[in-house]
Amino acid sequence: MASESSNGAEKGRESSILEQERQKWDACYDLAIRRFVYSSAVGSFAGLLLFRSPVTRWSTIAFAAGMGLGSAYTDCSHILQGPISNLTDASKTSASS
C-alpha cells in the first residue's frame, strides 16, 4: 500500500514538472511570436518613413524581425534556465537518475 501511494506521488510530481515545462514553452512561443510581429511592424514603419527603395525597406523589416527573434531567444533562455539546446540533455539526465 505504501509503495502504491509513493508511486502515485511520483507520477503527480512528474506531471507537475511536465506541466511547468509546457507553461515555460508556451510563454516562449508567445514571446517569440509577439516580438517578431511587433518588431516587424516597427521595422516596416521605420522603413516606410526613412527609405524610398523597396530593397532597403525589406532589409529594415528583416533586420528588425531578426532583432525581435534574437531578444526573444535571449529571454527564453533565461526562462528555461540555460541555452535551449541544453534543455533536452538536462531532461534526459534528470529522468535517468
Q: How many beta carbons lie within 10 A of that of residue 33, not counting itself?
A: 13
Contact criterion met (CB below 8 Å) for 80 and 24 = yes
Share of the chain above pLDDT 90, in %: 54
Rounded mean pLDDT, 58-62: 95
Rounded mean pLDDT, 6-22: 77
27-31, 45-49, 90-94: segment of lowest average pLDDT? 90-94
**Residue with the larger pLDDT of the pair 9 and 38:** 38
Does residue 81 carry a pLDDT above 90?
Answer: no
Rounded mean pLDDT, 40-48: 95
Rounded mean pLDDT, 26-34: 95
How is residue 22 written as a grid cell? 509546457
| pTM for the model | 0.68
Q: What is residue 84's DSSP assignment?
A: G
CA-wise closest residue to 95 among 13, 26, 23? 13
